[in-house]
């Protein structure tokens, strides 16, 4: 199945000047995501913009780690203890991949 999202790894690009916002890019396709959360009078990227960029850049790694955990835990579905957590993880994967 072909993915509907740009494959990682992604990275945060250095800021060009004090008024620039973080950019998260993938070398596969050159897609850039801009994180903009600016308040009047603020210069430079805010701490929130920087953390948003870091979170977005880590998304492919987080998705792959969650897929691996679900693959390992899925055989235990129906035993009760982890069912809700596994279902939540499956739903999160579907949301992240647009399924």
Peptide bond just before 9 cis, omega within 30 deg: yes
Question: Residue by residue, what is the 3-state secondary structure of 10-51?
Answer: EEEECCCCCCCCCEEEECCCCCEEECCCCCCCCCCCCHHHHH
Kindly report the pTM of this predicted structure: 0.68
| 2 located within any domain | no
The pLDDT assigned to 46 comes to 66
| 33 located within any domain | yes
- pLDDT surpassing 70 at residue 31: no
For 11-28, the pLDDT digits (tens) are 777 666 666 666 777 776
- Starting at the earlier edge strand, list the strands of the sheet with 10-13: 10-13, 23-26, 32-34
Tokens of 79: 């035993």
| 1 located within any domain | no
Q: What average pLDDT does the segment 36-47 reach?
A: 57
Question: 53 lies in which domain range?
Answer: 10-97
The region that residue 30 occupies, defined by phi over 0 for left and psi between -120 and 50 for alpha, beta otherwise, is left
Domains identified in the chain, total number: 1
| 5 located within any domain | no
């Amino acid at each position: 199945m072909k993915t509907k999202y740009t494959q990682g790894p992604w990275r945060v690009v250095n800021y060009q000047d004090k008024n620039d916002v973080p950019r998260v890019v993938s070398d596969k396709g050159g897609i850039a995501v801009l994180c903009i959360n600016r308040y009047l009078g603020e210069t430079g990227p805010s701490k929130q913009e920087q953390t948003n960029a870091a979170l977005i850049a880590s998304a492919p790694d987080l998705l792959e780690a969650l897929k691996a955990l679900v693959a390992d835990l899925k055989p235990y579905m129906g035993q009760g203890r982890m069912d809700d957590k596994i279902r939540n993880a499956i739903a999160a994967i579907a949301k992240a991949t647009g399924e």
